[in-house]
Structure 1
Amino acid sequence: MNKAVSVYFINTFFVGALSAASVAITSANASVELNAANIAIADSASEDSVSADATGSKNDDISSSLQALLSGMKQFRAGFNQTVVDAQQNLVHEAQGTLTMTRPSKLRWETTFPDETLLVADGESVWNVDTFVEQVTVLSQANAIKDNPIVLLTSTDEATWSKFSISQMSSGITTDNSATDINNDNALQSFQITPKEEGGQIVTLTLTFNQDNELASLNMLDAQQQISTLVFNNIETRFPVPADTFSVDIPDSFIVDDQR
């Protein structure tokens, strides 16, 4: 994995209307001499409150749906094909390899094409092994992916989830009727995750699940308008996890750049 691709996983890879409604309703109850304009304002504020409540409830439901899907993914291992295109849709990178994850907070990314590379997140640190230059870069995992929606793949922490907005999509297009998509047994379920705080490397992450509720693909749009797409194959969600899966054996000849 070259550094341009690694960045996806190590530097980048959750009242006003209600207050207005409350004031309007209190004023209406306290006064018997409201004119038509004041009544209209109160009614409008009340409608805004209902709308805000409905939107918030829907967003919570969508977040809960995604969390439920990911909670069934306590283990995940799959081969992947990756493509990265730029803003003009020019192909800038291709890769193949294997992704292994366990919840909470552990990830192993290996590429076999075009080069053999390794990245491991062990729950505390991220180890990026560059065999070509014989160097290992070590970062604090909490700092490396704190603003990256990829963290939700393995995180069970509610405070982390609250940093992101989540919407449900269908066939890559946001829909207004999420229930229809969920109830369609033949439909893929897609969720778009957006950091609430702007300025991070990843603008959006889209997760798509197949009919068996398995993670089938993910799509990342970055701040440079590059799009990275991973399509998974040979998906496994139950398998033995060797003790060394999320550890790194560093040869003595390698330089270690510890940035924790």
Structure 2
Amino acid sequence: MNKAVSIYFVSALALSNTVVSNANASAELDSLGANTSVDVTNANNAAGTNEANSAALQVLLGNMKQFRATFAQTVVDAEQNIVHEAQGKLTMTRPNKLRWETTLPDETLLVADGEAVWNVDTFVEQVTVLSQAAAIKDNPIVLLTSTDEATWSKFTISQMNSGPSAVKLETSASNNVNSVSGTKSYQITPKEEGGQIVTLTLTFNQDDELASLNMLDAQQQISTLVFNNIETRFPVAADTFAVDVPDNFIIDDQR
């Protein structure tokens, strides 16, 4: 698989390890057993806030039944060193369909058609196919196109007042950070630990359009996508979420 896709975006669509180890589970149970003074009021307040944030984010994404934009992607490591940059186009429709194409530094294609995720690697002439349900299970990227309440219930939603690095869009050329005004940011965190993506932050501009996407992964790398040329109403070609596999390509079907 092409490195540009497999590491920096497919990681958000790859199989994630969401199983808590027996040792961790035991420690959590011991901790709960020892703590007999749980603040029920605070817990209820937190739950109410999460539900309100979830509802607000669902409204924003619900208004985005279609989304198409060009993007600039920057990935930095834990020491804030730039390790990857890419450009391309992202197309999404709700529910559950996504097309990711990069033009620089390499041409790559990733398609989620609602049933399967197709990753086309033209360099090695191979297509890897994953079950979409398994590929994005317990992964916050699923909320971009999911309308399923059971899926949403697996995540904690926090509204960011000033926002993390997603609200400070990095210019990859100079590595300067520019503040963005009139934005709303929501941080999505899986309730179960152990997945590939630790947090996903979505930032919307003053027109309530998705302006940037920020992912912190388990290796402490941060991937930021900044969107331009945003469209939310457009005709969807019949083959947008289809993959035409050349006869000479190897198909690695992992469904």
Measure the CA separation in 2 of the matches of 1:78 and 1:106: 15
Which residue of the partner structure matches residue 192 of structure 2? 197
Shift of 1:173: 4.8
Which residue of the partner structure matches residue 79 of structure 1? 70
May I ask how many residue pairs the two structures share in their alignment?
Answer: 218
SS in 1 for 2:239: coil
- Output the amino acid matched with 1:4: I
Confirm or deny: 8 A CA contact 1:12 1:147 kept in the other structure.
Answer: no
Which residue of the partner structure matches residue 111 of structure 2? 120
Measure the CA separation in 2 of the matches of 1:213 and 1:225: 29
- Output the amino acid matched with 2:225: L
Confirm or deny: 8 A CA contact 1:62 1:168 kept in the other structure.
Answer: yes
- Equivalent residue in structure 2 for 1:252, among 239, 247, 254: 247
Calculate the TM-score normalised by the size of structure 2.
0.82
**Unmatched segments (≥5 aa) in structure 1:** 14-43, 175-185
**Identical positions, percent:** 75
SS in 2 for 1:60: helix
- Output the amino acid matched with 2:114: G
Measure the CA separation in 2 of the matches of 1:173 and 1:4: 22
Cα gap change, 1:170 to 1:12, in 2 (>3 Å): farther
Higher share of residues assigned helix: 1
Shift of 1:9: 3.4
Question: Is 1:234 aligned with 2:234?
Answer: no
Question: Is 1:158 aligned with 2:149?
Answer: yes
Calculate the TM-score normalised by the size of structure 1.
0.80
Question: Is 1:219 aligned with 2:222?
Answer: no
Cα gap change, 1:167 to 1:6, in 2 (>3 Å): closer
Cα gap change, 1:122 to 1:158, in 2 (>3 Å): same
Which residue of the partner structure matches residue 140 of structure 1? 131
Question: Is 1:97 aligned with 2:88?
Answer: yes
Confirm or deny: 8 A CA contact 1:149 1:205 kept in the other structure.
Answer: yes
* Greater Rg over alpha carbons, structure: 1
SS in 2 for 1:120: strand
Measure the CA separation in 2 of the matches of 1:9 and 1:220: 8
Confirm or deny: 8 A CA contact 1:100 1:109 kept in the other structure.
Answer: yes
- Equivalent residue in structure 1 for 2:55, among 64, 83, 86: 64
Which residue of the partner structure matches residue 177 of structure 2? none
**Unmatched segments (≥5 aa) in structure 2:** 17-36, 166-180
Measure the CA separation in 1 of the matches of 2:14 and 2:50: 27
Which residue of the partner structure matches residue 167 of structure 1? 158
Shift of 1:5: 1.9
Cα gap change, 1:91 to 1:173, in 2 (>3 Å): closer
SS in 2 for 1:67: helix
- Which range moved further: 53-62 or 131-140? 53-62
Confirm or deny: 8 A CA contact 1:170 1:188 kept in the other structure.
Answer: no
